[in-house]
Amino acid sequence: MVTEISTHDSTLRILRDDYINNTLPDAVNNTGGSYKVSARNEFTFYGCDMEATLVGVLDNTSRESVISRCATTCSESGQQAIYDADAKAGKLSKFCNGIGCCAAPIAGDSMPTRMHFTRIQVQQPINTSIQQPPPAVPISAYIAEEGWTEAVLGRKMPISELWLGYPVVLRWAVKQGLPAVAAAVGSKICPGDVAGRLCKSEFSDCRRENPSGYTCHCKSGYDGNPYITGGCQDINECELPEVKGACFGECKNLAGSYECRCPRGTHGNHTLPNGCVKSITCLSIGIGIGSGASLIVLVAISIFMAHKLKHRRKVMLKRKFFKQNRGQLLQQLVSQQADIAERMIITVDELAKATNNFDKARELGGGGHGIVYKGILSDLHVVAIKKSKIAVQKEIDEFINEVAILSQINHRNVVKLLGCCLETEVPLLVYEFISNGTLYHHLHVDEPRSISWAIRLRIATEIAIALAYLHSSVLVPVIHRDIKSSNILLDDTLTSKVSDFGSSRYIPTDRTGLTTRVQGTIGYLDPMYFYTGRLTEKSDVYSYGVILVELLTRKKPFSYLSSKGDGLVAHFVSLLVEGNLSELLDPQVVEEGGEEVHEVAMLAASCIKLGGEDRPTMRQVEHVLEGLHATKTYGKDNMIVGTNEENCISMMKQTNEGQSTEETSRSYTMEREFVDSARYPR
């Protein structure tokens, strides 16, 4: 049943009454070529100690990929946790929070095709009284409008509405009577005849949604129905709250935009309260002029006062933005270098000149925390300038966090912070310019061969050295929290630089970790940190282990799925235990790496163990990789652990024969501890 149709964002809201039973469904019905799932939905899953994955097709591609994923845990008895909203009122901020139930956003403009579920092996506490495995718990999953599940569990929805069905928001496109014209994948351009026949309003644009579907949208500054003549009407921006809060002068509405300026007879800054001041008129100047000398003096005084007033307004505006950008907090965070906010300041005029007024052609790319521009300073230094996306407190806090961390770090494998700018509404960071892109773009190319194994091994060593430095060599240890190949920059010599410290955290030396809101990238995220929210330096070790797997296989951790539905890490460990790792390895690595490949694979396996206490430290990882380099330089006889490891691997293969996958994984973990005890210094 359709309850709402929107022409503004081309969506429709439907109520579906085909509730999914508590059984494992084989697939999710595809909504058809003219409809896609909107990002306003979420994937909800009920079950115990399971990971649920929703697979589908993104945009105009035909290849399946992961579009949503979440995981659940349960009580020690294995029973599904059921919450009573009346009994728990005021004690839980979210009902479907991962204990018995989880919810995750869905990639927008996707078409779900199937879902699958993987059992998560949760280690029982020591001295537990449970002797038998927990009973099986029925599971169920469905796609519904974001917030609907929370409304149901929180008893915020009348029971009469619940029986009508569960809502789903779909993206629609018009295809009846319009030609299906071939176009490049991802192209949003409509053929001219389609735009003229479909979009009737003068101030509207046409957009291709798929090979045979199109939508119309009002242009910027207009709103209404673009499918009818005269449907898109001009918006009076002067009446919008955000404009009223930014224009303290005279606002004039224009077609598709607006103009704000000081009223006639005044001048100044119309973006500040009382920023427009009365102009000095010729008549007022004329009063008091008794002679030519008096006129000169008065003009000189007027110029001086105007210059002083302009300077005062500029200083006040800088102070306003400095306070708004949490400059005082920044000074507190770097109290050992209290003058950081003055020594590292670069003016906004200098940065505007360096980037040709932040020209779009100067954009190098965008990440989770802002847009990066290439600039050339007045001293001819080439720099990278990161500008926060929006002026919200979360972005400002992450900006301050990155300045506070990078201002106290000086390492050849960590991107260098040159300065910052607090004079603008959105804060700016200035880094050394790294010219050769990211490790991700060098590794995942369309050609059959990528960067050589020798370079991959050197890059892995440099990343390990940088992380070991952050964890154990700085005054207050730093956990990066978002280690991934797209955050590893490469210079002209392919030397690696760890970047993007917006989500990093300090860990005081007297603490082993801290509990935080989970933040990171799917595929690289430490599962124990995801389940518990407790962040330690071993979370970075797990993410680093995933990068090692990525270097060995040239597979993308966030989208890879095996034929059995396993992610990249799970499939890697399974094949390593079975002795069939060559099926997953990059053929170039097998050809060039020799015995080093197996050494690095074993190191990666130790880094991605489920228990953080079972993983090595980054300093230990650094020593292992430097040992590999020493082996290549001085010969294998100088390696102490070579013979022990070969014997251990042989013993592991004999022990694993005839065992189940679960038993083999446990055996693999125990036997690797023997190798680790020889490899990693205590």
For tokens 């912070």, the residue is 417
Architecture of domain 439-679: Orthogonal Bundle (1.10)
Question: Which residues belong to the active site?
Answer: 482
DSSP state of 106: -
Query: Higher model confidence: residue 37 or residue 666?
Result: 37
Nearest to 670, CA basis, from 616, 598, 606: 606
Residue 178: is its pLDDT beyond 90?
A: no
Nearest by Cα to 84 from 140, 155, 149: 155
More confident residue, 352 or 682: 352
Q: Are 645 and 602 within 8 A, CB to CB? A: yes
Lowest mean pLDDT among 60-74, 334-348, 400-414, 601-615: 334-348
Residue 307's pLDDT band, with cuts at 50, 70 and 90, is confident
- Where is average pLDDT lowest: 8-12, 283-287, 466-470, 644-648? 644-648
Residue 639 has pLDDT above 80, yes or no: no
| Percent of the chain's residues with pLDDT above 90 | 30
Closest to 199 measured CA to CA, from 221, 173, 170? 173
Q: Compute the residue count for the chain.
A: 682
pLDDT digits (tens, 9 = 90+) for 560-573: 988 888 999 999 99
Residue 297's pLDDT is what?
81
CATH number (3.30.1490.120, 3.30.360.10, 2.40.37.10, 3.30.200.20) of 329-432 reads 3.30.200.20
Q: Give residue-wise pLDDT tens across range 234-252.
A: 999 999 988 888 899 899 9
Residue 399 has pLDDT above 80, yes or no: no
More confident residue, 33 or 73: 73
Among 46-60, 197-211, 364-378, 657-671, the minimum mean pLDDT is found in 657-671
More reliable by pLDDT, 190 or 604: 604
Helices and strands (H, E) in the chain, number of each type: 20, 29
Which residues neighbour 633 within 8 Å (Cβ) at sequence distance 6 or greater?
none
Average pLDDT over residues 643-657: 35
Which residue's structure tokens are 């290849």? 63
Maximum mean pLDDT: which of 159-163, 245-249, 514-518, 614-618: 614-618
Q: What is the pLDDT of residue 552?
A: 96
- The arithmetic mean of pLDDT across residues 59-87, rounded, is 64
Residue 385 has pLDDT above 80, yes or no: yes
pLDDT beyond 90 at 393: no
pLDDT, tens digit (0-9, with 9 covering 90-100), for 181-213: 665 555 778 887 888 888 999 999 998 877 668
Confidence of residue 26 (pLDDT cuts 50, 70, 90): very low
Most confident by average pLDDT, 304-308, 469-473, 664-668: 469-473
Q: 329-432 and 439-679: same fold?
A: no
Say what the pLDDT of residue 469 is: 94
Contact predicate 300/308, CB 8 Å: no
Q: Where are the domains of the chain?
A: 2-172, 329-432, 439-679
CB 112 within 8 A of CB 37: yes
What is residue 223's three-state secondary structure? strand
Instruction: Tell me the pLDDT of the chain averaged across its residues.
Output: 77
Region of poorest pLDDT, from 106-110, 131-135, 138-142, 629-633: 131-135
Res. 681: pLDDT tops 50? no
pLDDT exceeds cutoff 60 at 125:
no
In terms of pLDDT, which residue wins out, 508 or 104?
Answer: 104
Predicted confidence band at 649 (pLDDT cuts at 50, 70, 90)? very low
Is pLDDT larger for residue 630 or for residue 620? 620
The CA distance from 428 to 413, in Å, is: 22
Q: Which amino acid is at 586?
A: D
State the pLDDT confidence band at 467, using cuts at 50, 70 and 90.
very high
Q: How far apart are CA 395 and CA 398, in angstroms?
A: 5
Please check the confidence at residue 415 and state whether its pLDDT lies above 70.
Answer: yes
- Tell me whether residue 377 is exposed, middle or buried, using C-beta atoms within 10 angstroms of its C-beta: 0 to 12, 13 to 18, 19 or more: middle
Q: What is the pLDDT of residue 397?
A: 65
CA distance 129 to 506: 38
Rounded distance, CA 115 to CA 139, Å? 13
pLDDT in tens, 492-501: 999 999 988 8
Q: Which residues contact 338 (CB under 8 A, 6 or more apart)?
A: 331
Annotate 484-547 with DSSP letters as a single string: -GGGEEE-TT--EEE---TT-EE--TT-S-EE----S-TTTS-HHHHHH-EE-HHHHHHHHHHH
Identify the bridge partners of residue 46 per DSSP, sorted by sequence position: 101, 140
Buried b / exposed e over 254-293, threshold 16 CB at 10 Å, is eeeebebebeeeebbbbeeeebbeeeeeeeeeeeeeeeee
What is the structure's pLDDT at 403? Answer: 74
CA–CA distances in Å: residue 377 to residues 337, 355, 380, 384: 25, 9, 5, 10
Whole-prediction pTM value? 0.49
